[in-house]
C-alpha cells in the first residue's frame, strides 16, 4: 500500500499511538487530519508541521462527527485513509456494581462512535483511489481481559464490525485491523508494565501497512494470534486472565 501523498484522518491523534502515527505519516508527505476532544493536545501533535491539521470532535456526539465531516469538505480535504484509533479504557469489577454511565461512555467512544464515523465516510472514501480503513483494535477484544470488562466488550464488538465491514466492502475499500501490544501511552500511564514506545508501535504499524497486511499483530499481541487458534474460547479466557503483563524490573 502506498503511504505517500494521501489524506489521512487519524482519530485520537492528540496523544499516544495516534500522535506518533500522525507525525510519522506527516514526514512521508501525507496530509494528516487529526481529531479528538481536546484541541490543546491536538495542537501539540501538530506543532511544527504544516501537514497536520487539528479538528475538535467528540466521537460520542453525532453532531460533532457530522460537523467535522462538513468542515473537511469546506476545507477541501478528501480523506482516502481513515485510521480509527481513538478509545478510552476503564478498569472495573462487575461484582462491585458497574458504573453504567461510564460503561455507556466506553461503548459509545470505542464502538458506536467509530461505527458512525466509518459509515458516514464510506461514500467519500469510495470516491478516492485505493481507499483504506484502518481499525485499531486490541487483543482484549479477542481474549477479553476481565478487569477491563467494558473496554474488552467494546473491542470485541469492534472486531466483529471490522470483519463484517471487510466482507461487505471487499471490492471497494481495503479494511485493515491492528492489534497493538502493551504501549506506553496516557491510556496506561498508571500501570507499571513493560511497554513498547508509541513511536515504535507506530513505526511497525506504518511498515506493515506499506507491506499490505490485512491484520497487523505487534509485539506480544502475536501471542493472542497463536493462542486463539489453538485454544478453545473458555480455555483462552482462563489463560489470558491468569497472565498479566510483566512489570518494569521483572524478567
Ligand X SMILES: NC(=O)c1ccc[n+]([C@@H]2O[C@H](COP(=O)([O-])OP(=O)(O)OC[C@H]3O[C@@H](n4cnc5c(N)ncnc54)[C@H](OP(=O)(O)O)[C@@H]3O)[C@@H](O)[C@H]2O)c1
The residues that are catalytic are 151
Radius of gyration, CA atoms only, the chain: 18
Q: Minimum distance between the CB of residue 167 and ligand X, rounded to whole angstroms?
A: 22
Question: Buried b vs exposed e over 211-240: b needs ≥16 C-beta within 10 Å?
Answer: eeeeebbbbbbebbeebeeeeeeeebeeeb
User: Measured from the CB atom, is 88 or 115 closer to ligand X?
Assistant: 88
Q: Minimum distance between the CB of residue 216 and ligand X, rounded to whole angstroms?
A: 11
Q: Minimum distance between the CB of residue 76 and ligand X, rounded to whole angstroms?
A: 23
Cell of residue 190, nine digits: 498508571
Q: Minimum distance between the CB of residue 134 and ligand X, rounded to whole angstroms?
A: 11
Angle at which helices 221-230 and 233-242 cross, to 10°: 150
User: Measured from the CB atom, is 126 or 222 closer to ligand X?
Assistant: 222
d(CA 224, CA 60): 29
Q: Are 56 and 36 in contact (CB under 8 A)?
A: yes
Q: Are 147 and 93 in contact (CB under 8 A)?
A: yes
> Residue 247 has what DSSP assignment?
B
| Sign of the alpha-carbon dihedral angle for 215, 141, 181, 222 | negative
User: Measured from the CB atom, is 173 or 201 closer to ligand X?
Assistant: 201
Q: Are 240 and 143 in contact (CB under 8 A)?
A: yes
With H, G, I as helix, E, B as strand and everything else as coil, classify residue 196: strand
Give me the residues that bind ligand X (CB under 6 A), please. Answer: 11-12, 14-18, 36-38, 41, 57-60, 85-88, 109, 113, 136, 138, 180, 182-183, 185-188
Q: Minimum distance between the CB of residue 145 and ligand X, rounded to whole angstroms?
A: 10
**Distance between start and end Cα atoms, the chain:** 37
User: Measured from the CB atom, is 7 or 182 closer to ligand X?
Assistant: 182
User: Measured from the CB atom, is 69 or 109 closer to ligand X?
Assistant: 109
- The residue number with the shortest CB distance to ligand X is 16
Amino acid at each position: 500500500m502506498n503511504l505517500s501523498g494521501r489524506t489521512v484522518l487519524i482519530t485520537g491523534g492528540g496523544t499516544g499511538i495516534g500522535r506518533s502515527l500522525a507525525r510519522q505519516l506527516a514526514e512521508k508527505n501525507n496530509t494528516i487530519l487529526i481529531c479528538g476532544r481536546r484541541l490543546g493536545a491536538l495542537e501539540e501533535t501538530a506543532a511544527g508541521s504544516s501537514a497536520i491539521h487539528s479538528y475538535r470532535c467528540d466521537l460520542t456526539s453525532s453532531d460533532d462527527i457530522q460537523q467535522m465531516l462538513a468542515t473537511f469538505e469546506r476545507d477541501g480535504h478528501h480523506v482516502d485513509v481513515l485510521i480509527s484509533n481513538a478509545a478510552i479504557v476503564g478498569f472495573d469489577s462487575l461484582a462491585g456494581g458497574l458504573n453504567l454511565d461510564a460503561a455507556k461512555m466506553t461503548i459509545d467512544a470505542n464502538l458506536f462512535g467509530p461505527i458512525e464515523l466509518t459509515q458516514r465516510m464510506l461514500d467519500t472514501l469510495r470516491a478516492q483511489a485505493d481507499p483504506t480503513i484502518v481499525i485499531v483494535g486490541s487483543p482484549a477484544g479477542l481474549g477479553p481481559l476481565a478487569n477491563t470488562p467494558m473496554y474488552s466488550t467494546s473491542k470485541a464488538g469492534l472486531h466483529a464490525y471490522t470483519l463484517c465491514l471487510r466482507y461487505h466492502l471487499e471490492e471497494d475499500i481495503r479494511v485493515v485491523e491492528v492489534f497493538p501490544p502493551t504501549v506506553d501511552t496516557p491510556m496506561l500511564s498508571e500501570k507499571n508494565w513493560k511497554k513498547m514506545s508509541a513511536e515504535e508501535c507506530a513505526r511497525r504499524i506504518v511498515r506493515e501497512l506499506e507491506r499490505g497486511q490485512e491484520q497487523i499483530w505487534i509485539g506480544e499481541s502475536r501471542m493472542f494470534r497463536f493462542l486463539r487458534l489453538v485454544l478453545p474460547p473458555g480455555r483462552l479466557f482462563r489463560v489470558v486472565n491468569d497472565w498479566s503483563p510483566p512489570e518494569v524490573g521483572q524478567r
